[in-house]
Amino acid sequence: MSKPIGVAVIGAGMAGRAHCAGYRSAPTLFNPPLPPIHYAAVIDADAAVAADAAARYGFARSGTDWRELLAADDVQVVSIVVANALHREIAEAMLAAGKHVLSEKPLADTIENARAMAAAAAAHPELVTGTAFVYRRQPAVAAIKNLVAERLGTVSHFNGRYWCDYANSPLTPMAWRYQGGPGTGALNDIGSHLIDLAEFVCGPMTQVSGAAFTTLVKERFVAAGTTYGHSRAELTTQKRAVENDDVATFTATFSGGAVGTFSISRIAPGHANSMAFDVFAQHGAAKWDMDRPAEFSVVLNEQDESLAAYNGYNQVLVGPAHPYLKGGVPMDFPGVSYGVGDLFGFQARAFLEQVARMSGGLPPVASFADGLRDLEIINAVISSAAAGGATVDLPAHA
């Protein structure tokens, strides 16, 4: 029998638990079977939170100091799911200790730290590193990417939005995601996903322009205790200033000539977690909305004049003919939906396949270089906004 692959997750909040659950489901997905997985440890600054996650997801132990994993012989794979400013130190230490590292997005809190992480990954080619752009694993999104490449032709316009309401209430407590300066708020937190999907579907951007930010909630109460994710908490009377953006908008140009329009908000009432995009191209168009994740719409331009009058969007229900569904969910049948939690299973399976050097499986996880690329675009948007919407050129990216 193959030697087990030992897994640890650092951070047991909302996304950390999704990583834990993803690793637990990964061996049940697709073929061929993975090597045995050892669920070694969950680490969190809050001992009770770490212990609860370890117990719920069947990990052998819990702890509060990630450094204890460095010399742990039973840990080969580490997920980093903590505040962005902590990513670099942990990733560099884990790579130096010979661990494979999957980091949550954005890769880091600053472009300088992202560059350092990408350099550390390049210095350890024997180790697998990845950035957790989990929405690349949306079956409908992957299907649209294939459709653009194989049928729709040259893209003219990508229009995307990511609207949430987690910060709409002034009673949502202060947290690390509300600190760090312009561009580190909604743009960095959720816009990073939309930016990655835009390049995933349409290819690399060459420049951004017209960027603008606004912040509606200027101050937030400090919580009385530890908070995780976007949850409410008991509040103190102390307030701190919000340092970053509630809303970000910008435009972009792609290398293929397409233009992109982007709208990102964390204060959009009625939109709990609403990412959507339209792609308009030479031979038709496609659109997808995460409010209805297991379907997408397609229009294929009919050249026959007798049929052209019937050009219009067709609803497509995701099924086993599309990416990830066959073998990826227990009921791999058209019209049987799935959720974001399933995507973490797909992602964990892909990363473990890379660690095990399995070939012919799922597409690889986005690299640290891809994570750096995302920060390069975010940095350019920040520069554009600071210059009153000026055009900012982007470095080339494969």
Residues 161, 275 contacting (CB under 8 angstroms): yes
pLDDT in tens, 323-334: 999 999 998 888
Average of per-residue pLDDT across 131-148: 97
Phi/psi of residue 321, each to 5°?
Answer: -80, -10
Domains assigned to the chain: 5-135 (3.40.50.720), 139-292+294-333+374-385 (3.30.360.10)
| pLDDT band, residue 259 (cuts 50/70/90) | very high
Residue 307 has pLDDT above 80, yes or no: no
Residue 235 has pLDDT above 80, yes or no: yes
Phi/psi of residue 267, each to 5°?
Answer: -130, 40
Kindly give, in sequence order, each residue whose CB lies less than 8 Å from that of residue 197, ignoring residues fewer than 6 positions away: 133, 135, 136, 141, 160, 275, 277
Average of per-residue pLDDT across 88-107: 98
Residue 1 has pLDDT above 60, yes or no: no
Kindly give, in sequence order, each residue whose CB lies less than 8 Å from that of residue 266, ignoring residues fewer than 6 positions away: 164, 165, 166, 167, 168, 185, 186, 189, 190, 246, 247
| pLDDT band, residue 162 (cuts 50/70/90) | very high
What pLDDT sits at residue 273?
95
Residue 377 has pLDDT above 90, yes or no: yes
Quick one: tokens of 306? Answer: 């007798």
| pLDDT band, residue 59 (cuts 50/70/90) | very high
| pLDDT band, residue 34 (cuts 50/70/90) | very high
Average of per-residue pLDDT across 304-333: 87
Average of per-residue pLDDT across 104-111: 95
Least confident segment among 54-68, 286-300, 307-321:
307-321
What pLDDT sits at residue 397?
81
What does pTM read for this prediction? 0.93
Upstream peptide bond of 320 is cis (omega within 30 degrees of 0): no
Residue 305 has pLDDT above 90, yes or no: no
What pLDDT sits at residue 312?
86
Instruction: Please choose, from the candidates 304, 194, 184, the residue with its C-alpha nearest in 3D space to the C-alpha of residue 246.
Output: 184
Residue 337 has pLDDT above 90, yes or no: no
What pLDDT sits at residue 398?
65
What is the C-alpha to C-alpha distance for residues 291 and 275, in angstroms, rounded to an integer? 8
What pLDDT sits at residue 225?
74
pLDDT in tens, 347-361: 999 999 999 999 999
Neighbours of 2 (CB within 10 A): 9
Residues 296, 286 contacting (CB under 8 angstroms): yes
pLDDT in tens, 176-217: 889 988 999 999 999 999 999 999 999 999 999 999 999 999
Residue 234 has pLDDT above 70, yes or no: yes
- Asked whether the CA dihedral 264, 292, 149, 102 is positive or negative, the reply is positive
Upstream peptide bond of 364 is cis (omega within 30 degrees of 0): no
Quick one: tokens of 356? Answer: 């095990």
| pLDDT band, residue 226 (cuts 50/70/90) | confident
Bridge partners (DSSP) of residue 159 are: 261, 278
What pLDDT sits at residue 224?
85
Q: Whole-number mean pLDDT of the chain?
A: 95
Q: Can you give the chain as a three-state secondary structure string?
A: CCCCEEEEEECCCHHHHHHHHHHHHHHHCCCCCCCCEEEEEEECCCHHHHHHHHHHHCCCEEECCHHHHCCCCCCCEEEECCCHHHHHHHHHHHHHCCCEEEEECCCCCCHHHHHHHHHHHHCCCCCCEEEECHHHHCHHHHHHHHHHHHHHCCEEEEEEEEEECCCCCCCCCCCHHHCCCCCCCHHHHHHHHHHHHHHHHHCCEEEEEEEEEECCCCEEEEECCCCCCCCCCCEEEEEEECCCCCEEEEEEEECCCCEEEEEEECCCCCCCEEEEEEEEECCEEEEEECCCCCEEEEEECCCCHHHHCCCCCEEEECCCCCCCCCCCCCCCCCCCCCCHHHHHHHHHHHHHHHHCCCCCCCCCCCCHHHHHHHHHHHHHHHHHHHCCCCCEECCCCC
The C-alpha angle with vertex 362 and arms to 138 and 187, in degrees rounded to 5, equals 40
What pLDDT sits at residue 229?
65
For 228, 242, 272, the CA distances from 178, given in Å and listed in that order, are 13, 5, 18
